Amino acid sequence: MGIVTNDWDFDPRKNSTTKGVSLEVPVVKLLIMGLPASGKTTFVRHVFEGKDFEEIRDYVPTFGVSIGLYEYAGSQGVKVSTFDCGGQTSFIDTYFTDQWVPTLFGNVSLLLYMVDSSSERDLEGATKLFRKYYENLRRNSSDAEVFILASKWDKHTLTDEDLAEVFKDMKVYYVSVLDKSARKVAREIIDIYLEKKRKEEK
């Protein structure tokens, strides 16, 4: 879908890691959150870096927040800044501190909340965490669009009814890297957002 033009990681528990790093937001700021191993980094590497399933099947936890800046192939001149937020508890706790809330939740265009559809036992925890993220998002980026992505749909045990019940009034997409549906969904979400912004500017 696009090419990477800049990429770095930072640990939100430490101040020094952001020295010299500009967090200026391009056209689309894409915040990607969810529990550990819900498919966040796999989604980014597949959608924006063009990696196929065989190249990214080995899971490596994200350390803190991985930020990437990409040219969006779907619309000339548009850039997408991805904030891929690690799901480990040690990092999540810092996301809600006064120091990091503005950085993560400010100026957000789109929040993609990843839910592992292959794990029924994680649904309750995923729901509770989503509520905390959603509250902070609305306080800092009231106009941000929010979507639930049911990842690993090729081996799902959760049903669409399960997800609809807990994520009421939220648009849920069912995605898989294996069948490449994740790319189609990502393009659809970004295109809808860009079209909405163009209409607002007229």
Q: Which two tokens stand for residue 26?
A: 């391009």
Report the C-alpha gap between 9 and 22 in whole angstroms: 12
Q: Supply φ then ψ for residue 96, to 5 degrees.
A: -100, 10
Each residue's pLDDT tens digit, 57-110: 776 778 889 999 898 876 667 889 999 999 888 889 999 999 899 999 999 999
Q: How far apart are CA 152 and CA 130, in angstroms?
A: 18
Joined tokens for residue 181: 């549906």
Q: Where are the domains of the chain?
A: 2-14+24-201
The H-or-E segment that residue 150 falls in is strand 145-151
- Written as six digits, the tokens of 68 are 């990437």
pTM: 0.85
Rounded to the nearest 10°, the torsion over CA 128, 133, 139, 142 is -110
CATH number of this structure's domain 2-14+24-201: 3.40.50.300
pLDDT of res. 40: 94
| Run of H or E including 141 | none
Q: How far apart are CA 115 and CA 122, in angstroms?
A: 8
- Cα distance between residue 146 and residue 130, in whole Å: 11
Element (DSSP H or E) covering residue 125: helix 123-140
At 23, is the pLDDT very low, low, confident or very high (cuts 50, 70, 90)?
very low
What pLDDT, in 10s, does the model give residues 128-182?
999 999 999 999 999 999 999 999 999 999 999 999 999 998 999 999 999 999 9
Which of the given ranges, 28-32, 64-68, 117-121, 194-198, has the highest pLDDT on average?
28-32
Would you state the pLDDT for residue 121? Answer: 85
